[in-house]
Amino acid sequence: MEIIKDLPEVFEEFAEQRKNSFLGVKKLKDAGVPVIGSYCTYFPQEIATAMGAASVSLCSTSDETIAVAEKDLPKNLCPLIKSSYGFAITDKCPFFYFSDVVVGETTCDGKKKMYEYMSEFKDVYIMELPNTQREDALILWKNEIIRFKEYLEKKFDITITEDAIREAIKINNDVRRSLKNMYEVMKNDPAPIKGQNLFKVFYGSTFKFDKKAIPAEVDALVAKINQEYAEGKMEEKKPRILITGCPIGGATEKVIRAVEDNGGIVVTYESCSGAKSIDKLVDEDNPDVYDALARRYLNIGCSVMTPNPNRLELLGRLIDEYKVDGVVEMTLQACHTYNVETRAIRKFVNEEKNIPYISVETDYSQADVGQLNTRIAAFIEML
């Protein structure tokens, strides 16, 4: 096996992957490879993989373009939506610029209306996501996946076969398995690495276009971490924190830093930039590939679902398996579904799991870093 580089170097390479893939996406376009941009964990990646397209997460994690977005959008809108729109309309996101189609989903009212404006200057395809997980909702979502497949076939003049989708399911499941193995190194106590480095691997992996290459790379990294742990290289024993809530990345990584600069260690992320996106596999034995995809994606426990038992199930499992001492919930200003759901999460964590919980509301500016540090430091000291 190829000798892996030193861990700090590998973590930095994952952290830089987003920037490096700016050039990669242009090369793909020059080679005639279709590029499909998306914003959400509900996006069925397997359909894009099956047609030979590159799929990429679009820019939405910085306040750089929010002022421009606010010329069209209200100021009291969620920063993730404003950032997404701002990067799109200013052409400051290479992934958006090179995307042949942007796939949106009806996860929230703000996004739905933002996609209407975005469609004025970009080819935007909207998937109608049910906001419940009943069996009749499953039928609707399965039909939406088939409708999306048929749209791509017509737009790109191709045929997406069920065999190609089965192969794509295997490829994406292999990526999820390797990332789950990476996640699980944090079950060790003391933790082998910082939570910031765990996040770099997960976030960076979403910007790698060659999905088939990801498992070997991540597996080699896991082997290196386990080897060093066996040799006694590990973090100090610290209060073990789970982060839940809105997606983390870019500007909101300030919450991870606030935990780890103030005496804690983030051992797991329940959010969709963490466990939520990789916890469930697509059933490879289901003869109906569209039913298999629909079940896997509809079962994601996002706060847009009513009721939302799957979020509590995953949260409870992570708390137990990772020996979590406290839960930090990060919500974005004006993200109504997550903000309303904080009451249910607090009650579950405090009363059912009997561990401390804190909720912090933030946006994409760095103005509240001092306040975040003060509140989270006090929370960790209490543990």
Ordered per-residue pLDDT tens for the chain, 383 residues: 445 578 999 899 988 998 888 889 999 999 999 999 999 999 999 999 999 999 999 988 999 999 999 999 999 999 999 999 999 999 999 999 999 999 999 999 999 999 999 999 999 999 999 999 999 999 999 999 999 999 999 999 999 999 999 999 999 999 999 999 999 999 999 999 999 999 999 999 999 999 999 999 999 999 999 999 999 999 999 999 999 999 999 999 999 999 999 999 999 999 998 999 999 999 999 999 999 999 999 999 999 999 999 999 999 999 999 999 999 999 999 999 999 999 999 999 999 999 999 999 999 999 999 999 999 999 999 99
What SS3 state is found at 81? helix
Find the domain containing 103 and state its range.
Answer: 7-162
Residue 237 lies in a domain: no
Partnered with residue 362 across adjacent β-strands are 332
Nearest to 103 by CA among 74, 133, 126: 126
Could you report how far apart the first and last alpha carbons of the chain are, in Å?
A: 42
CATH classification of the domain holding 124: 3.40.50.11890
* Number of domains present in the structure of the chain: 1
pLDDT for the residue 3: 52
Residue 50 lies in a domain: yes
pLDDT for the residue 1: 42
State the DSSP H helix or E strand holding residue 242, giving kind and residue range, or none if neither: strand 240-245
Residue 352 lies in a domain: no
Residue 134 lies in a domain: yes
What SS3 state is found at 104? strand
> Is the torsion defined by CA of 171, 172, 177, 180 positive or negative?
positive
Q: What is the pTM of this model?
A: 0.96
Q: How far apart are CA 277 and CA 281, in angstroms?
A: 10
Q: How far apart are CA 321 and CA 323, in angstroms?
A: 6
Residue 252 lies in a domain: no
CA angle 80, 19, 111 (to 5 degrees): 20
pLDDT for the residue 258: 98
pLDDT for the residue 4: 59
Residue 275 lies in a domain: no
Q: How far apart are CA 363 and CA 335, in angstroms?
A: 10
Is beta strand 357-362 parallel, antiparallel or unpaired with respect to 326-332?
parallel
Residue 51 lies in a domain: yes
Residue 186 lies in a domain: no
